[in-house]
Amino acid sequence: MSNDDGVYAPGLLALYQALSTIAEVIVVAPNTEQSGCASALSITTPLHIHQLPSGFMGVNGTPADCIYLALNELYPETDFDCVITGINSGANLGQDVLFSGTFGAALTAQLLGVPAIATSLAGGGIKGSEQECERHYQIAANEIVKLLTETSILNICKNLPYHVLNVNIPDVSDADNIKGRKITTLGHNQIARPVHHVVDPRGRDAYWLSLRKRQDVLADDVDAQETIINMTDDQAVAAGYISLSPVRLHHTPVAALDKLSALVL
């Protein structure tokens, strides 16, 4: 396991506790939050490792660093069934997967030949009180365990090289509010405000980058589409379903090759 919210994140702990009921789990995660770092590797600075009392391994690097280090150096002889990243604090929907460190860590595992699943909790309840936060993550973690134990998803992932399964769980206070699971495609929504310009206390211009989307998709708009097989991930989550999006990597589309081959270079 790894994540991009850091080795102390509640989503990581909740998922570890849930997965430990069905498997032996090893955690290698960044010391600090690394959201938005995608699959970046630290190739200009050395990495250092420390072990927490929990047994988790903290690394002064990115989520991709953690997976790269774990599979190549820390546990090179271990035959892992799967790498699972998360549970991310907030959704990783649509084009966000290109920037997500949670997804980037899973991508790195797949490139190294290990099946990978990236998991996220989509919604606002995770920003509540500590107890509320823990409960919401526990619900999401239990849903991931049920996905692994009630379906053959892991065996399918093992037979899909260069694919990462991107999972988004609706943020609910009761598991009964989750309607089920949907296989989805990645959506693409416009970003509401890509850059926030502010002036810092010293009078300097400063800029916050944002991936927050416009609220174009509402649950009421999706109810009529619940029977569509290829819902987008944001539609499924808005309608109360767990979204399972297979994302293919290392792929050059044949149609694009045909078009580019017509060029005179």
Would you say residue 230 lies in a domain?
Answer: yes
**Do residues 118 and 164 make contact, with C-beta atoms less than 8 angstroms apart?**
yes
Q: How far apart are the first and last CA of the chain?
A: 45
Residue 250 or residue 216, greater confidence: 250
Query: Is residue 32 in some structural domain?
Result: yes
Q: Is residue 39 part of a domain?
A: yes
Measured at the CA of 86, the angle between CA 168 and CA 234, to 5 degrees, comes to 15
Number of H helices, E strands in the chain: 8, 11
For 106-126, write each residue's pLDDT tens digit.
Answer: 999 999 999 999 999 997 555
Phi, psi for 13 (deg, rounded to 5) = -65, -45
Q: Please report the pLDDT score of residue 197 as a whole number.
A: 86
Predicted confidence (pLDDT) per residue in 90-100, tens digit: 999 998 899 99
Range 218-229 average pLDDT: 45
Residue 194 maps to a domain? no
Residue 199 lies in a domain: no
- In a domain, residue 131? The reply is yes
CATH of the domain at 130: 3.40.1210.10
Asked, for residue 210, whether it belongs to a domain, the answer is: no
Which of 81-90, 117-126, 132-141, 250-259 is the most confident on average? 81-90
pLDDT at 212 > cutoff 80: no
Q: Given this model, what pLDDT does residue 124 score? A: 58
Measured distance CA(125)–CA(122) in Å, rounded: 9
Full domain range(s) for residue 132: 10-188+226-261
Written in H, E and C, the secondary structure of 175-205 is HHHCCEEEEEECCCCCECCCEEEEECCCCCE
pLDDT tens for residues 9-25? Answer: 999 999 999 999 999 99
Task: Measure Cα distances from 149 to 6, 21, 155, 234 in Å.
Answer: 27, 11, 11, 25
Say how many domains are in the chain.
1
Query: Which tokens belong to 208?
Result: 């916050």
